[in-house]
Amino acid sequence: MGTLRDLQYALQEKIEELRQRDALIDELELELDQKDELIQRLQNELDKYRSVIRPATAQQVQAQQQNLVLQPDQQRSKRQAISAEPTACDIITLSHVTLPFYPKSPESKELIKDAILDNDFMKNLELSQIQEIVDCMYPVDHGKDSCIIKEGDVGSLVFVMEEGKVEVTKEEMKLCTMGPGKVFGELAILYNCTRTATVRTLTHVKLWAIDRQCFQTIMMRTGLIKHAEYMDFLKSVPTFQTLPEETLSKLADVMEEVRVSPCQRHRSRHRHLPGHRPRVRQCFHVMS
Q: Are strands 157-163 and 205-211 parallel, antiparallel or unpaired?
A: antiparallel
Assess if residue 159 is contained within a domain. yes
Assess if residue 236 is contained within a domain. no
Assess if residue 179 is contained within a domain. yes
> What is the C-alpha separation between 184 and 237, in angstroms, rounded?
43
Assess if residue 283 is contained within a domain. no
Assess if residue 48 is contained within a domain. no
- Name the strand (E) or helix (H) holding 178: strand 173-178
Give tens-digit pLDDT for 84-96.
Answer: 344 444 666 766 7
Which CATH number characterizes residue 92's domain? Answer: 2.60.120.10
Number of folded domains that form the chain: 1
Give tens-digit pLDDT for 272-283.
Answer: 444 444 444 455
Assess if residue 166 is contained within a domain. yes
State the pLDDT confidence band at 81, using cuts at 50, 70 and 90: very low
143: containing domain: 58-220
Give the mean model confidence (pLDDT) for residues 159-179.
95
Assess if residue 263 is contained within a domain. no
Q: With H, G, I as helix, E, B as strand and everything else as coil, classify residue 34.
A: helix
Assess if residue 232 is contained within a domain. no
* 104-108: long-range pairs with CB below 8 Å, 24+: 104/134, 104/137, 104/208, 108/162, 108/208
Give tens-digit pLDDT for 189-211.
Answer: 777 778 989 999 999 999 999 99
